[in-house]
Each structure stands twice: as C-alpha cells, then as structure tokens.
C-alpha cells in the first residue's frame, strides 16, 4: 500500500495553526444567507478560472464570469470548454457531499477526470488511465519529470486509493491529507492530460468530504495561479528516489493558510457590515472605532489600556473613542473598576 513520506516541520505546524484559527472564524461568523451565496459563487468562479489558467487557459476572471452567466464570450472554444467542464466537476463534488459520500474510489477519480476532459480528449482517454508514456516538460521543452511507466499506473492508483480510505489517512489533519493526495496524483500522472486539474479537484473534494470546507467558501487555486512557477517548483522539490514531500507540504499548507486568511477577512468585513447595518439610526464611526470593532471580531475583549496603547492616546481620549460604540449598542461593558473590559454586544 502507498505510504507518504514526510516530516512535520515548524513551518507546517505554524501554517496549520493559522488555518485552524481562520476556519473557526469562517464557520462561526454571523453573515446573512445572501452573502453566503455570494461567497460560494465567488469561490466557484475563482476555482474555475485559476485551476484552468494554471494550465494555460487564456480566459480572464471577468470572461469566466460572463461565460457562466450565459453571455457570449469571444474566445477559443477549447478555453471555454475547459472552464465549463471544471464547473461541472465542482458541481459533482457538491453532489458527492450532499450524498454524504465517505469513501474515495477510483471510479470517483475517473469521473472527475472524465468531466474535466469531456470534449477535449477522445473517449478512450477521457475518464480512463493512460495507455501511453507521458513526460512533463517546461516552457523550454525540457523534460522536468518522468512519470511512472504505463503498466505501473493501475497498481499505483489502487494502492493510492487504498491509502485514501485507510485509518492512517483518516487520522490525518484534512489539509495534510489533501496536500498529500494532490502531490501523489500528479506524481502518478495516470492520465494523458488533465492530471493537474484532476489533482486539484481531488484535493478540494477531500477537504469537503472531511468536513473542513463545509460552507464552500474556500478556493486554493488562486494561490497557485498567482505564482505558477513557484507552484511547479514546489512540485519538483520532491526527490524522485525518496519521494519525501515535506517541502511540498510546507508550500501547500502555506497556500491554504493564505487563502483561508483572505476568506476570513471577507467574512469579518461582511459580519461587521451586518452589525453596523442592524444598529439603530445612522452611525458615523471614525477609523479608530472601526479598528476596535475589527479587533473584537478576532479577540474576545479589549480594555481601555489596550485602546490607549493601540492608538497612543490618553485614558480620557480612549474613553471618548469607545463611547459611541457603547451608546449605539455595538459593544458592551463588562466588569468593574480596574477589571473593566469591553466585548462585542450580543
């Protein structure tokens, strides 16, 4: 059976800590249903655009949005098919989640690939393991990676899928399982084309089925696409002899941490916007008062002394700064005397 080879470094641990904090904020922040729909739609657009763009798709994010809205987009047919296919893959992932799918099978991976490459590969290649040798080349036409031989692919995939469903994988933090799976599918390179998109879709599916991204706000592909060369370099840091994927997991967890941080910021901004809109009357807050509210979204309390330090002001001025927040019911005073502190009003 396949067994991943990696070390848990301080970088990985720190990234996981950042991810865990962001995830708790995302899952528990109070936002309106229409905003949740908006965030899900944005995540789908970003995944469809960035995952295909990594592979050379020329559509812009705006063109992807127009295409999915049913508008006419002047572009190569192949580019449009790639994007539309990837959206179908994301819909398939949602269907698996709604069915409470728990087991990952070869059939699921093959179906992801079939949906990814429909209309781009012939029927013998779409949704089927490759029957010919392939090589990964860089922009200069040089081979940078030689995947396993054709005859090895079925066994490697069986062993890989067996690991995906065993106890060791189930005990892993979902992000680590997702990152390991992403790399291993790319390494095996089981398909003639579409391996990268299938690997990224599988990584997304694992996060969803393991209950990590239950709200479907998360899109990792944009992080890869911002610096494609770094993405490919990270994949190539693995020694082909030892297959130690430590450096890859450092990169992968960093990407998740950055992407989750962006979602967290968007969630906090929407949550704060909701709180302000629901407050009575017209409220005018200055930058310092907004900073206090944002601080309280990720910290349970704040004191007058902390406000003084935050802005370099006197105690009297700190009390004046927080007063409008108290008067408008945005924060509540707790404790007495020196033990007084302020928290977001319920």
Query: Catalytic pick from 128, 182, 189, 295?
Result: 189
Please give the Cα distance from 61 to 187 (Å, whole number): 29
| Catalytic-residue membership of 50 | no
**Residues tagged active-site:** 189
């Amino acid at each position: 059976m396949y067994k991943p080879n990696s070390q848990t470094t301080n970088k990985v641990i720190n990234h996981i800590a950042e991810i865990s904090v962001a995830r708790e904020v995302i899952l528990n922040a109070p936002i309106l249903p229409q905003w949740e729909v908006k965030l899900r739609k944005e995540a789908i657009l970003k995944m469809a655009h960035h995952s295909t763009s990594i592979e050379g798709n020329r559509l812009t994010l705006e063109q992807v949005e127009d295409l999915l809205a049913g508008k006419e987009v002047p572009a190569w047919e192949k580019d449009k098919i790639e994007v539309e296919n990837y959206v179908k893959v994301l819909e398939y992932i949602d269907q698996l989640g709604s069915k409470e799918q728990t087991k990952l099978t070869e059939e699921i991976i093959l179906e992801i690939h079939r949906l990814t490459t429909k209309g781009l590969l012939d029927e013998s290649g779409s949704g089927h393991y490759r029957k010919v040798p392939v090589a990964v080349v860089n922009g200069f036409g040089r081979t940078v990676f030689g995947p396993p031989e054709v005859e090895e692919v079925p066994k490697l995939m069986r062993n890989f899928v067996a690991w995906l469903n065993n106890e060791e994988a189930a005990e892993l933090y979902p992000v680590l399982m997702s990152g390991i799976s992403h790399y291993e599918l790319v390494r095996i390179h089981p398909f003639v084309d579409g391996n990268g998109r299938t690997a990224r879709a599988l990584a997304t599916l694992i996060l969803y089925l393991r209950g990590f991204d239950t709200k479907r706000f998360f899109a990792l592909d944009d992080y890869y696409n911002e610096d494609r060369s770094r993405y490919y370099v990270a994949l190539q840091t693995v020694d082909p002899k030892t297959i130690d994927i430590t450096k890859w997991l450092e990169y992968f967890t960093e990407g998740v941490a950055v992407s989750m941080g962006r979602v967290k910021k968007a969630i906090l901004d929407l949550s704060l916007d909701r709180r302000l809109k629901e407050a009575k009357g017209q409220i005018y807050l200055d930058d310092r008062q907004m900073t206090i509210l944002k601080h309280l979204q990720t910290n349970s309390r704040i004191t007058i002394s902390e406000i003084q330090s935050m802005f370099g002001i006197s105690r009297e001025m700190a009390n004046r700064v927080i007063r409008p927040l108290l008067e408008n019911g945005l924060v509540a005073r707790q404790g007495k005397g020196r033990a007084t502190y302020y928290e977001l009003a319920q």
